[in-house]
Structure 1
Amino acid sequence: MTDEIATSAEAIENAHLPSIREVHTNPDAKCASEGGIPKALKEPTGRKSPAQWAYERIILYIQNFEKQLDNDEEVGMGFVGGDAGVIKIEGLGYYDPDLITFYGSDGTGAKTQLIQHVSQLNVMLRAAPKQVDQAEPNRIGFRLAKELEREDDATA
């Protein structure tokens, strides 16, 4: 790994610690930051690629969305600006420096994968009915969030 020379302004910008703020019309609405922010999201953003940084924040929003679902609902993702429909989110990943991918299935059960550049990222989370043969809804956000509490360096 080579060290890059940065101006003092770039060093300050790269060391910026992320922050989150939400305001809702309903004072009882659950905010994504409620219950604490995972360790990975408290790290300076300067060493993260745009893909990793988007991936980590999307996990937080998915987990918060799932906290608000009924036991007969799971998280789905609608495609903003397209007519591809809704997919049930079954996985999420990134490919540095700038791609995010969502794995899942559509309403017919067909395997689906969306690969998107971070500059085009628009995600709409939707409540979707869980599969009838499942006793409990699948909560992908809580599994994904475990990764954000990792002890190792997020950029390694």
Structure 2
Amino acid sequence: MTKDQMTIDTSAEHWENDALPKMREIHTDPDVPGVSADDLPKALGEPVKQKSPAQWAYERIIMYIQNFEKQLDNDHEVGMGLAGGNAGVIRIEGLGYYDPDIVTYYGVNEAGAKTQLIQHVSQLNVTLIASPKHIDQPEPKRIGFRLAEGLERDENVTN
């Protein structure tokens, strides 16, 4: 092994690399756009150990919502399937978190009623669904792209 081939990380670099998020996706269809580590918002490249479980879950959910929306046509918006009871599907209109461990989704259900799901990160289980956009709106609302803008800011997104 030559000097050019060998790299030695300091203890701090090793710790930081270990704390940075890692991800991987494989699909049966190679044309399905997966989430790319190259396209991640700035906030998702920060060390995980600096974040609460709620902030970390919130940021990754945004990434998945945005990627899901990229695959939708103009007649559909992102919706979310809710488990348990007769909750059904809600059209996602907002997403938030409350440190250290709560994530909340805001939206409208299939009957048009305002809906909010409050979920502990240990129970996180979200099904993204292509929901038809409201008949009266010309363009679908893309919440994922608006949410992702917040992850590109230089300031801490928790404030």
Q: TM-score, normalised by structure 2?
A: 0.86
Q: Does the Cα contact within 8 Å between 2:81 and 2:127 map onto a contact in 1?
A: yes
CA RMSD of aligned residues (A): 2.1
Q: After superposition, give the CA deviation of every residue in 1:79-131 in whole Å (9 maximum; x if it has no partner).
A: 13554100000000000000000000001110000000000000000000000
Identity of aligned residues (%): 68
Q: After superposition, give the CA deviation of every residue in 1:23-81 in whole Å (9 maximum; x if it has no partner).
A: 00001011022761110000001110000000000000000000000100000000135
Q: CA–CA distance in 2 between the matches of 1:73 and 1:54?
A: 25
Please list every run of 5 or more consecutive structure 1 residues that lacks an aligned counterpart in the other structure: 1-7
Structure of higher CA gyration radius: 2
Q: CA–CA distance in 2 between the matches of 1:73 and 1:125?
A: 12
Q: Could you tell me which residue of structure 1 aligns to residue 69 of structure 2?
A: 66
For these two proteins, the number of residue pairs brought into alignment is 147
Q: CA–CA distance in 2 between the matches of 1:104 and 1:118?
A: 19
Q: CA–CA distance in 1 between the matches of 2:38 and 2:145?
A: 13
Q: What stretches of structure 1 move > 6 A for 4+ residues in a row?
A: none
Mapping for residues 136-155 of structure 1, pairs under 5 Å: 136-154=139-157
Mapping for residues 1-156 of structure 1, pairs under 5 Å: 12=15, 16-33=19-36, 36-154=39-157
Q: TM-score, normalised by structure 1?
A: 0.87
2:36 is paired with a residue whose SS is: coil
Please list every run of 5 or more consecutive structure 2 residues that lacks an aligned counterpart in the other structure: 1-10
Amino acid across the alignment from 1:20: M
Q: CA–CA distance in 2 between the matches of 1:68 and 1:57?
A: 17
Amino acid across the alignment from 1:109: G
